[in-house]
Amino acid sequence: MSIDSIIADAVAKAVGQLYNIDADPATIVPQTTKKEFEGNLTVVVFPWVKAARKSPEAVGNEIGEWLVENEPAVDRFNVIKGFLNLVIEPTFWNSVLEHMQSTPDYGITAPTADSPLVMVEYSSPNTNKPLHLGHVRNNLLGYSLAEILKACGNRVVKTNIVNDRGIHICKSMLAWRKWGDGATPEKAGKKGDHLIGDFYVLFDKHYKAEVKELMERGLPQEEAEKASPLMAEAREMLRAWEAKDPEVRRLWAEMNSWVYAGFDETYKRMGVDFDKIYYESDTYLEGKEKVLEGLEKGIMYKREDGSVWADLTADGLDHKLLLRSDGTSVYMTQDIGTAKLRYQDYPIDKMIYVVGNEQNYHFQVLSLLLDKLGFKWGKDLVHFSYGMVELPEGKMKSREGTVVDADDLMDEMVSTARQVSGELGKLDDCSPAEAEEIAETVGLGALKYFLLKVDPRKNMTFNPKESIDFNGNTGPFIQYTYARIRSVLRKAAEMGYEIEKYAGVVPAEKEIALIQALADFPSVVAEAGRNYSPALIANYAYDLVKLYNQFYHDFSILKEEDTGRRSLRLALSDQTAKTVKTAMSLLGINVPERM
């Protein structure tokens, strides 16, 4: 049992005996005592003041005295207004550490067959371009969120919806047909997603040239854009695709297959995966069917031009278009179709969409529509809304080819990690293969940590140089501390040292602080799950290694002659390494065994 649970149970018994109050221990949440006060854990006593008919100070003192007399874990206490600060008996912390050491997967709650089923959607790429920096943040947030929810005892399905149809896809296809000269990824020596992205940029280049020429002939910009022969050809190709033209569909399937092979490489290197992938080309017709069903039931209405709408004014929103007058669907319709297929495939209890904050309104509407159409999780769907990520130079535009590709970014991060690690001598004792593996681990760890340590709701600027720093709140700092601990433990094993009994050792203040930080891990994981915040895990890991480094600086481990005290410090080191590795794995970050 954790120290928090022990104190919560004891406080519940105290108020029961002192005031005849039936308190649920689950509602009593001890907090870490603020640094300016003496104590390890603080309990707020205000909830029982009214029933006790006493002042907060009196209630705090009475509960504190009861705990000192009846709970061995409590050594002494002090009361500040309605806050009861408890000093835990120093050697009791050893039993807390022993509990952690004897608990496999400490901090992780394994799901059961009856656990809620949560589906997390992330990535959502288009098949006309490679994944870029924005996708990297999306993928890392989605994957980490799924891992955290799993660690909180949920069954989790990781899913992706690929935008594989529409005018943007036809632009790449048309450019390939006109100027591709039979290019394939093999012939071009390029990943398929990069090759198709090049044609998307090429289309835009020719389209802009056409518009400019038409404007020079005297047409206003809007008319020139409508009159572009190239855009007219792309629209015609889209109509042919929707009419299932065999040649257009063959080209579409072939070019998409190149892109998927490229995506798979990127996902694998990034360390993210999916349990199920859906495709917009399959879901848009399902959505249309569901909307027409809603029309029959009077949930939607039809206008004179034949378009289908939902009236959401009673819900404080506006009228929402679901089918155009020509019967074609919009994004909302496709999302309804995807929801229908997912609900058929899985008995979902909660649906989480990891999508940028520019789509906040879209998901407000989707939630209402799914609820009206009878999806039981529709009303409570979660839009995990995150901010945009930019580079120090500013915004990126995929049409102009100024987007930072995910592959190029990962290459740059690994290259920088290799250079910095080499300059600092971190790779001196490594073979070339080990050095390369460490550069990959550190480079990708730096990228992931930098993007995940920020509150996901905030916009952020990603600075590659700042992210690879072996000091400060960075992935490499945490990874290096982990490698340092593993080195200590290897040396201890070589010297024949084992973790022996340390129950009677009185731990020092900094040792207690480290044990308490380790004891906080399960509650941090639970809070990260409740708040959908990988940042809480990231910053916990940073705070933990800071504490460990202070401990490592102040105390001898391998040179300590007292067996019990050395065992305590080895156990502390071992548990810190385990907890850091688990925390970083929840962020999708690997940690190197040596550096």
Q: Are 351 and 339 in contact (CB under 8 A)?
A: yes
Q: With the C-alpha atoms ordered 513, 517, 523, 529, is the resulting torsion angle positive or negative?
A: positive
d(CA 325, CA 292): 13
Q: Residue 233 falls within a domain, yes or no?
A: no
Q: Residue 212 falls within a domain, yes or no?
A: no
Q: Are 168 and 381 in contact (CB under 8 A)?
A: no
Q: 509-519 and 534-554 helices cross at what angle (nearest 10)?
A: 160
**Phi, psi angle pair for 126, to nearest 5°:** -100, 145
**pLDDT number for residue 396:** 42
Q: Residue 97 falls within a domain, yes or no?
A: no
Three-point CA angle 385, 390, 391, nearest 5° = 155
The alpha carbon of residue 437 and the mean position of all alpha carbons in its chain are separated, in whole angstroms, by 24
Q: Residue 465 falls within a domain, yes or no?
A: yes
Domain residues for the domain of 64 are 3-89
- How many CA within 13 A on the CB side of residue 276? 14
Q: Residue 425 falls within a domain, yes or no?
A: no
d(CA 93, CA 88): 8
Contacts of 261 (CB under 8 A, 6+ apart): 185, 191, 192
d(CA 428, CA 125): 40
Token pair 């992935």 in the structure block, residue:
475
Q: Residue 570 falls within a domain, yes or no?
A: yes
Q: Domain holding 573: CATH number?
A: 1.10.730.10
**pLDDT number for residue 400:** 47
**pLDDT number for residue 465:** 77
Pairing mode, strands 74-80 and 83-88: antiparallel
Q: In what order do the strands lie in the sheet with 41-44?
A: 31-32, 41-44, 83-88, 74-80
Q: Residue 408 falls within a domain, yes or no?
A: no
Q: Domain holding 25: CATH number?
A: 3.30.1360.70
- Amino acid identity, residue 52? A
d(CA 100, CA 517): 12
Q: With the C-alpha atoms ordered 323, 326, 327, 332, is the resulting torsion angle positive or negative?
A: negative
Whole-number Cα distances in Å, 251 to 188, 190, 241, 246, 583: 17, 18, 10, 9, 45
Record the tokens describing residue 302, joined without a space: 């039809």
Record the tokens describing residue 383, joined without a space: 């839009």
**Phi, psi angle pair for 390, to nearest 5°:** -125, 165
The domain boundary residue, chosen from 89, 123, 152: 89
Instruction: Tell me what percent of the chain is helix, strand and coil, each rounded to the nearest 5.
Output: 55, 10, 30
The domain boundary residue, chosen from 59, 89, 119: 89
**pLDDT number for residue 394:** 52
Q: Are 371 and 378 in contact (CB under 8 A)?
A: yes
- Burial degree of 442 (CB within 10 A; 0-12, 13-18, 19+): buried
Record the tokens describing residue 420, joined without a space: 């910095």
Q: What is the C-alpha radius of gyration for the chain, rounded to an integer number of angstroms?
A: 29
The domain boundary residue, chosen from 89, 119, 149: 89
pLDDT tens string, the chain, 595 residues long: the values are 688 999 999 999 999 999 999 999 999 999 999 989 999 999 999 999 999 999 999 999 999 999 999 999 999 999 999 999 999 999 999 999 999 999 999 999 999 999 999 999 999 999 999 998 889 999 999 999 999 999 999 999 999 999 999 899 999 999 999 999 999 999 999 999 999 999 999 999 999 999 999 999 999 999 999 899 999 999 999 999 989 999 999 999 999 999 999 999 999 999 999 999 999 999 988 999 999 999 999 999 999 999 999 999 999 999 999 998 888 788 899 999 999 999 999 999 999 999 999 999 999 999 999 999 999 888 899 999 999 888 776 544 444 445 688 998 999 899 988 888 888 787 777 888 888 999 999 999 999 999 999 999 989 888 877 888 888 899 999 999 999 999 999 999 999 999 999 988 999 999 999 999 999 999 999 999 999 999 999 999 999 999 999 999 999 999 999 999 999 999 999 999 999 999 999 999 999 998 8
Q: Residue 571 falls within a domain, yes or no?
A: yes
What total number of domains does the chain contain? 2
d(CA 159, CA 450): 24
Query: Buried b / exposed e across 179-198, counting CB within 10 Å, b at 16+?
Result: ebeebebeeeebbbbbbbbb
Token pair 């933990």 in the structure block, residue:
544
Contacts of 437 (CB under 8 A, 6+ apart): 592
Q: Are 342 and 351 in contact (CB under 8 A)?
A: yes
